[in-house]
Structure 1
């Protein structure tokens, strides 16, 4: 059992290194569609280099929608619809927003034709979803110069959204649309929820690790439930295999993502069982047990029922993982249990080992966020690309090794690309190892949780700094750069002030207190 837990804890660590947030792709807007008894918002892509959309729906003109998806709408395809410069203009689309198919001609040509017939806006339906804005919006040779003669907004609408609009508005006398681009929220209340989840998980994992250490010292023996010590050799193996997994995800995302989902399901189910088992053992059903042939252990009915419940919850999440309305709650619950399992079962015995592990993963995080954009063809960091999922992904799956909380403020970004803010498990577990180490050291030297409280507070401050940096720089951040710095420096400062730096560095707190008999307060 101990070997299994060591293997599981080691392998789980390889999968916990995803970045906090992702960057937006392109310039997003919203088209608000209204019929007699129905309305809905859809995502659009546009270029602000030549046109500015209203910032809110109240200032956006609500115009009739003209369905031109059955016409070619390209120069030379239908001469009756062409308008030459200087010729008398027929304006059959006066005060409307036209909707046409992508076709083979340029976006500018389509926009100019629509404007020449009096349209006040143009929606171009594209079957390719998730493209860069520069690829799907009209742009001149010099992107900093406005398009000559084109003054109406031209935007791209997804093909599936067009089908949804036609299905809901079939038979309606009149359909009206409004194009606008609501501002992106600088801050959202879901950051508060993410902050509470992350800090609460780190604090609970560190506290539980301290309780386990106190129990181990009292019993003076190692049992099956004892943590597994993490050696320096394992640090090198973790970093090497993490780089390999990141590259496999970047180049073979659609295949490898299902391996990650399966591994997360296994680890999350095990973590949920580990968190609930201590509570279940106090239920009044312990008399229902059956001895195993040839073993001293017994099968206990409460634990069997708990195992079935954890398996059912995990299967439920796997089956409905893409249900955005509620599946994120299950994912977050399983993710928290996942992190608690690792923090409890994996122990870094000395601060020397802990610091080398944290700094190695800090270098890994910074490299894949800040350095890889210089090496990739698109200029996007591998970490951000993997965390968000490739734009050309066929499976449309997302990696589950994150806490995700839906945005509470409406914006075009939440509608088009990022309905959730995410925090990677690595940003919880990696600094969480140091918090757990601090609490174990508190138990050894009987310092009444001084190190634990200081390191937990430092983690909270580091996470706030990460959020501020993300808002100011408007890009994904290597969160470990702030979290490792704040927690490591704070814990070293506390040890120096208490004149316990040598003991803290070597993890020899027991040398100062040969007998530890008190319970952790």
Structure 2
């Protein structure tokens, strides 16, 4: 069951890609009163003033009775030189913006009942739209109408905020710790299995009982990546159905991973593991208590997954446990398999982020659409009018495949709610599989200094630092695998080449070879002294 879940969950690990989400402020006044509201815009599309004093003030025209997918029924004299506010739906953001621009409007505000996302389009649409475009919450506009009536003067601006936030340091700590712990645990399990073989255990039985899942066939790697591509496309077309399947899978897999991680720590600390018998069946007291705690944590996350203020703590806890357990469980048998898998996943990531916008109708990449959900672009609604619900709609479901840490510097800004620094699980797991292989290779050659493991961890750290540095300098989210894969692969190959072990490192080992003999596959793995077992 666990192995089947692992194969299914692998496709989730590279679905997320950071995108540039820019928040701004809508300042509304009528001469005597003033109030500010949150807006979301795409700075590839819109440039806003950095302060209220430099922002130009325009009168606002309420066109909430139309979706503005065409100019019928709208007089240019009414909207020329003014800010328009229309409802979201029926056509894309760019289409609404082009109609507003043709009518002579200075700015377009789109009121949304759904989660605010930065309005996206392809590069050709960006070049056509010359007026600012932003999304605001529908309930905020209703509140503004109650306060100001129809006589509203508005200004849009985006105060500069510090690009370097303490949350980035926390994210770096989480990512490198998760990769290092998962890789070290993988090597510890390999050492334990080698010790069992050395003590006369049957290798075939040992592998049969092992929870590890070895990937040693290039064909299987290619088929696995092809399967991931197929599931991603299915998610694109059937998101509203499959999202709940993946949420359920994540709850089960993360609870199991958290159990395995905590249980291994308790074994390491030497905690007692009492048992009792019921109808000739033995039950472990510690395991039952631990399973209850892990399942409860997973259930609480599942129930409150859309709560933004505190649920990120449980999601990160479950995510760290899931990534560590995944790196420990999946064993890549050779550096050749590592190169094939990481290279294919890098191409997969780049293709679905940067290439697919040229093929989709709304110009949004399939990766971003799946990661953000259906609200990543303009949506279709029947008819020319929109029915607005009295209360806000249920938050849009998103895939639980990211680490989230609140931006500490933005906590005082309550207009747009909490803002997060995010990192996809795939940016941890995919390079982490290579780190795990390096850790096992150190065991195979009896390298007590763990040179391969440590060098790959350092390469991962440098790669993730480079990712965040480029993101901060460019002001845009980055596909982390674009930097992590070259850093880790090149570093590992360089270490093997300098040590004269490239042939062994490239070939590695496989379950077929191990099952054919109890002799270690690599000559360097024959220690002259007993190997100390480590908890696994």
Could you say which TM-score interval applies, normalised by the shorter chain? Answer: 0.7 to 0.9
Partner of 2:320: 336
CA-to-partner distance for each residue in 1:264-286, whole Å, 9 max, x for gaps?
Answer: 11111111111111234557653
1:195 pairs with one of 165, 172, 177: 172
Alignment of 1:110-189 (within 5 A): 112-113=77-78, 122=83, 124-128=85-89, 132-133=93-94, 135-136=96-97, 139-141=100-102, 153=107, 155-158=109-112, 161-164=137-140, 166=142, 179-182=155-158, 187-189=163-165
Partner of 1:213: 190
Distance 1:153 1:345 in 2: 53
How many residues are treated as equivalent by the alignment? 468
Note if 1:433 corresponds to 2:433.
yes
Distance 2:73 2:461 in 1: 50
For residue 276 of structure 2, give the secondary structure of its aligned residue in structure 1.
strand
Note if 1:348 corresponds to 2:313.
no
349-358 or 485-494, larger mean C-alpha shift:
349-358
CA contact (8 A) 2:373 2:398 kept: yes
Distance 1:108 1:179 in 2: 26
CA contact (8 A) 2:67 2:89 kept: no
Note if 1:488 corresponds to 2:495.
no
Partner of 1:54: 49
CA contact (8 A) 1:137 1:154 kept: no
301-310 or 443-452, larger mean C-alpha shift:
443-452
**Higher Cα radius of gyration:** 1
Partner of 2:251: 265
CA-to-partner distance for each residue in 1:238-261, whole Å, 9 max, x for gaps?
Answer: 212101110011111111111111
**CA 415–48 in structure 1, closer or farther in 2 if over 3 Å, else same:** farther
Partner of 2:240: 254
Distance 2:430 2:499 in 1: 25
Distance 1:234 1:468 in 2: 35
Distance 1:306 1:177 in 2: 59
**CA 237–46 in structure 1, closer or farther in 2 if over 3 Å, else same:** closer
Distance 1:333 1:177 in 2: 46
Partner of 1:236: 222
Partner of 2:64: 101
CA contact (8 A) 1:99 1:125 kept: yes
CA-to-partner distance for each residue in 1:141-194, whole Å, 9 max, x for gaps?
Answer: 5xxxxx76x6x6553344684544545885899998752221565834233322
Note if 1:517 corresponds to 2:497.
no
215-224 or 100-109, larger mean C-alpha shift:
100-109
Partner of 1:92: none
- The offset of 1:113, in angstroms, is 2.7
CA contact (8 A) 2:410 2:418 kept: no
- The offset of 1:39, in angstroms, is 5.6
**CA 140–500 in structure 1, closer or farther in 2 if over 3 Å, else same:** same
CA contact (8 A) 1:403 1:423 kept: yes
Give the TM-score, by structure 1 length: 0.77
**CA 163–467 in structure 1, closer or farther in 2 if over 3 Å, else same:** closer
Q: Which runs of 5+ in 2 are unaligned?
A: 115-136, 380-393, 510-520
